[in-house]
Structures are given as structure tokens and as C-alpha cells.
Amino acid sequence: MTSKVWAIRAPEVDRSSSAASSQELSKYLNRDYVEVREAILEYLKHDLFKPRYDLSFYEFRDLTQERLKHLAKGNFISCFDHINDPGRFFAGMEALTYVDYSITIKCGVHYTLAGGAIALLGTRKHHNKYLPLMDSGELPGCFAMTELGHGSNVMGIETTAVYDHARNSFVLNTGSDLASKVWIGGASQYGRLCTVFAQLTVGGDYKGVHVFVMRIRDDEGNLCKGVRIEEMGHKMGMNGVDNGRIWFDNVVLDKDSLLDRYASIDEQGMYHSPIKSIPARFGAMVGALSTGRVCIAQSAVDACKLGLTIACRYSSDRPQFGKRKIGSYLTHKRRLAPGVAQTYALHLMMLQLKGLVNDRHDPKKIHNLSSGLKAAATWTRVDVLQKCRECCGGMGLLSENQIGGMIVDMNVDVTFEGDNTVLMQQVVKGILAKGIKKPDPIQVRNYSIEELLEALKYREDLLKYKLVQLGDLDANQDTCVDLGWAYADYLTAENFFKEVQRAPPALRDTLQELAVLFALEKMERNAVFYVCDGVIDADGLENLRRRVNDQCNVVSGADGERLNILCEGFGIPEHLITAPIAKGWREFHTSPEIGARM
């Protein structure tokens, strides 16, 4: 089936009840690197980026590879941006989620993971040799960290690199099948260059995990000596990415293959690193690669924007049980309005995080924040897109309506770039400190902004205190995940209310309504905590439910029409909203052309 992109108009929106205009909202949300964003969105009008639902496994991979090549021609994304201007890099990568997650991840592996590792862990010789060819798309890159036996535990990987001073080179070996590199994006068919994580030994001394850059295929696409690659297999989604499995058998790598920003070997074969401890050195190397997590978190937020735009438009346009629009039902508002609030909240928080990366802020803070937000944003995406799909009823299942495809393609985002459950535990290790005092008890009565923020902060502080008292994090992993959420929720809410103050006056009421809904809904999700710890009682809980209902009504408008304005504020151009249900489902499904699109 070839998908025709229908030029049916977007539904009319009643703007009378909205305090803020969608253009003003969009200008406020999309305020950084405006020219890069606009240019890439325009570039994505090319036919190559139009949706295709009729392709076989290998045809879809070829299309994704063609898309990567075409993007490279546009010069929007450069691996050098990791060093010179990370904010520009993020802006260049962002719009891709609106096209398709396979191309997003294809670019993510090539530019962010492989290109980022070379840029951030390598030195000038590596930059000059590889990055221009990666920018032009001539040298497709892979990133080989995960092994069959070691996924989340990267420090435990078993691939070995032994330095041989007599030959001035390293010898790379997989050893057992459990040490084969698995899931490696781009490896199965198109990848030619690879950044490989391996345990380094120099002069018989073990030095820990280091990263090497090497060719896995030559310019003709033939596998290099000692490299074996197999196909990973058909996946539940994201099949445009050719994931593969790699084995290394006595592969000889020259000395310059070591990405040597954090560790090097001198002319006499002596190993040097400014970071003496093996775990600290590993932490510095992996910590430098937080760009990937930032991109995954941003993609999750962008997917929420697209899913909500489609679901809200359809809901305010589709009557059911007489003339009543489905968007007018409380249960619809309850499913969509909190998602819109979460998406605004997370988008604004991501702007802060990207600002910290751009300013080269404290790496520890960036690591904690990017880990917590990656987990929060991707888990939020799972919830938001499922609700969007349900709100569209059966129409939500049609591939051309975009939401279903995103659900399956993006499901992996809770697992890769750090499994969310494991990431939340890392966040907790990063934020717990000795001497944390028990917070004074609080009570919430009227759900003012001050009380809402106090309640979110209280949850974080009390969970921190409890975990310090409990001591054994391993035996209390469930509380660790709760604390990771509490940390992300409070920071995101606090930032949202600050944004209300920073925003132009015309936007403040609208943003505040959303921020209040965000905070109320977070309290409601954690009602068990608040009741058990005496912050609210049974009446308070009932009051909280009513407050969430009221706020969903305020944010949504009578038929959910206000949600359309808020979604327009996300600024997704019409050519990337291809779902027919977002463009007038009646005209589309009653058109005489309906048969022609199959």
C-alpha cells in the first residue's frame, strides 16, 4: 500500500476561549536555534521523507539508508557540533522523530553515538581523519558497546584489546559468544566504521574499558579481516535500522585506534591517564557520552507532541452518541490534557538540560539530570501515546494515523541508552548524600502553587531520607525508582513554574494552567505516598481528584478545542502531520479516492 499524503485541511479551531495564541506559544517553546529548526523542517518536505507503509524488511532499510544520505547532503547535522556547539546538534536532530523513528535512530547511531564517541573521546587526529567523512555520510558509523552477556553492566564486558608494543598495535578479540557485540545499529548491512568498547591490557596490566575506532567494512562494503557479522533479526518495530551482531577474531588495530582523550600510550609503550582509578575513568568516558540520552529523551517528548496533536484534533472533531464530540467527555480530557501538560513540562525542562550541556556544566549534574529525564520522558511517552491511541478508537490502529507506528517503533527507548530502571538507580546514587535530614511534616489543603511545589519536594526529600536510613539500596530498588521519579518530577515542576514567570505576559495564564495540572496529576499518581505519609487524608484525596478533573476541564475547553491550540503551540508543520484523522476524517474516509490509496 502506498500512502498518499492527503491535502485535506486541518480542522477549524475555535480560538475565542484561548488566552494565548498558538504562534506565541510555539515561538516561546521553539526559541533556540530557530534557523536550524526551520531549515531542517523545510528540508523534510522532500518526497524521500514521505511516509511509506508498503515496504519489505530490506526495502525499508534501503529507504532509511537513502534518507540518511540525503540528510547528510543537507549539512544540518555535524559531528563537530559535539565539540563546538552541542545545542546546534540537538536542534539538527530534533525534527526527525516526526518523520519516522528508524531514521531518527539511524542518525542517532551514526552522528550521536559513533560520531559523538569519536568527537568526545578522541583527539584531533581522530576528528580530522573520520568526522568530515561521517558528516558527508560517506563513512556510516556504528557504536559497539553491548554484548550478549553484558547489556546494562557495561563495565563487565569481555571483548579484549591487548597492546602489543613490538607491533605498535592492539589485538582485539571477542573470545566467547557471550562477548559478541549485539544489537549494533548499522552493523548488519551498511556500517563501515565502528567505535568498539573493550577491556584494555597494556604490558600485562589491566586498565579497564576503553573505546577504539576501527573499520569493519572496506570502501567496497567487504568485511575487514577478522570481523564476522550476522543479522540480528526482525524486530517488533524500528526495522529501518539494520541491527547486527559482531565477533572480532585477532583483529590488529594500529595504535591510533585508541580514542585517547582520557588515556594514551606513549612511544615507549607506557600507559598514561589523568584519571587514576579504573571505575572513575570509565565514569568519565561514559559520562562524556550523555548527548545520546538527551537526544532519546527529546525524541520521546517530540513523539508525545505528534501523538497528542493527532489525538486532540480527532477528538474535537468526532461526534459519538449524537452530536457530542468525544473530546467533550471527561474521560477523554483526563487522558489527553495531562499528556499535553507533561509534554510542555518536559519540553521546557529539556531546554534547561540542553542549555547545561551547551554551557559544559558540571558533568555529574548533566549525568544525573539526563539519566533521570531520559527515564521520565520515555516512560511518559509510553503512557501518553497509548492514551492517544485509545482516544482515537479503531482509527488509532491504522498505520497512516501515525500513533501506532510510534508506539511500536519507540518501545525500545525505555531500554536503550541506559535501561530506565537501571538509570533511575544511577540517579539515586548521584543525588544521595550523607547527613540528609528528615523533612518537617507538611499538609496540603488548598493545592495552591506553593503547596503543590512543597508537596513534590517533600516526596523527594522524604524518599531520600528513607533510603539513607535503609542504607541497602539493592534491597530497596523499588524505592530507588520512586526517588528517581520524585527527583525528575520536582525539578520539572519547579522549572515549569519558573517558566511561567519568565514567559511573555500573554502566555502566563495558559502556561500556569498547564503547570498546575502537571503538578496536581503528579500528586494524584503518587496518592498512596501522600496518604500514607499524612500529607493528605481521605477527604483530601477526594478533593485532589476533583481538582484534577476541574483542571482537565479548564485546560481542555468544552469539546477539547483548547487542546488543539496548545498542540499547535508545539509547532509541528502540517507536512509532517500526515495522519488523515488529524485533517478531517469524514472527508478522507468518504472520499471517492478512498479505494485508490490502497
Ligand X SMILES: Cc1cc2nc3c(=O)[nH]c(=O)nc-3n(C[C@H](O)[C@H](O)[C@H](O)COP(=O)(O)OP(=O)(O)OC[C@H]3O[C@@H](n4cnc5c(N)ncnc54)[C@H](O)[C@@H]3O)c2cc1C
- At closest approach, how far in Å is the CB of 183 from ligand X? 3
Residue nearer to ligand X on the CB measure, 173 or 420: 420
Q: Which residues are annotated as a binding site for FAD?
A: 146, 185
> Of the candidates 494, 398, 485, which has an alpha carbon nearest to the alpha carbon of residue 452?
494
Residue nearer to ligand X on the CB measure, 51 or 240: 240
Q: Are 297 and 350 in contact (CB under 8 A)?
A: yes
In this structure, what DSSP letter does residue 269 have?
S
CA distance 155 to 263: 16
Strand partners, 246: 181, 229
Q: Rg of the chain over CA atoms, in angstroms?
A: 25
| Contacts with 489 (C-beta within 8 Å, 6 or more apart), sequence order | 376, 456, 459, 460, 522
Q: Phi, psi at residue 317, to the nearest 5°? A: -115, -10
| Contacts with 303 (C-beta within 8 Å, 6 or more apart), sequence order | 97, 101, 381, 385, 406, 410
| Contacts with 405 (C-beta within 8 Å, 6 or more apart), sequence order | 100, 101, 237, 399
- At closest approach, how far in Å is the CB of 481 from ligand X? 9
Residue nearer to ligand X on the CB measure, 299 or 512: 299
- At closest approach, how far in Å is the CB of 191 from ligand X? 9
| Amino acid at the residue 113 | L
Q: Which residue is nearest to ligand X (CB)?
A: 151
Residue nearer to ligand X on the CB measure, 184 or 535: 184
Cell readout for 66 is 537513502
Secondary structure of residue 251 in the 3-state scheme: strand
- At closest approach, how far in Å is the CB of 122 from ligand X? 17
Residue nearer to ligand X on the CB measure, 110 or 126: 110
The active-site residue, picked from 417, 499, 521, 568, is: 417
Half-sphere exposure of 406 (CA within 13 A, CB side): 32
Q: Sign of torsion, CA 355 357 361 365?
A: positive
CA distance 307 to 288: 32
Clarify whether 417 is annotated catalytic: yes
Residue nearer to ligand X on the CB measure, 357 or 412: 412
Residue nearer to ligand X on the CB measure, 243 or 551: 243
Secondary structure of residue 188 in the 3-state scheme: coil
b (16+ CB within 10 A) / e for 178-215: ebbbbbbbbbbbbbbbbbbbbbbbbeeeebbbbbbbbb
Classify residue 276 by burial, with Cβ atoms within 10 Å: 0-12, 13-18, 19+: exposed
Q: Are 523 and 455 in contact (CB under 8 A)?
A: yes
Q: Are 390 and 335 in contact (CB under 8 A)?
A: yes
- At closest approach, how far in Å is the CB of 235 from ligand X? 6
- At closest approach, how far in Å is the CB of 257 from ligand X? 18
- At closest approach, how far in Å is the CB of 110 from ligand X? 10
Q: Which residues are annotated as a binding site?
A: 146, 185
Q: 541 in the Ramachandran plot: left (φ > 0), alpha (ψ -120 to 50) or beta?
A: alpha
Query: Which chain residues interact with ligand X by CB under 6 A?
Result: 109, 143-146, 151-152, 183-185, 235, 238, 243, 412, 415-416, 419, 421-422, 477
- At closest approach, how far in Å is the CB of 228 from ligand X? 17
- At closest approach, how far in Å is the CB of 65 from ligand X? 15
Classify residue 73 by burial, with Cβ atoms within 10 Å: 0-12, 13-18, 19+: exposed
Residue nearer to ligand X on the CB measure, 83 or 148: 148
Secondary structure of residue 296 in the 3-state scheme: helix
CA distance 10 to 585: 10
DSSP string, 41-64: HHHTTSGGGS---S--HHHHHHHH
Residue nearer to ligand X on the CB measure, 341 or 428: 428
Q: Phi, psi at residue 230, to the nearest 5°? A: -125, 160
As annotated, the active-site residues are 417
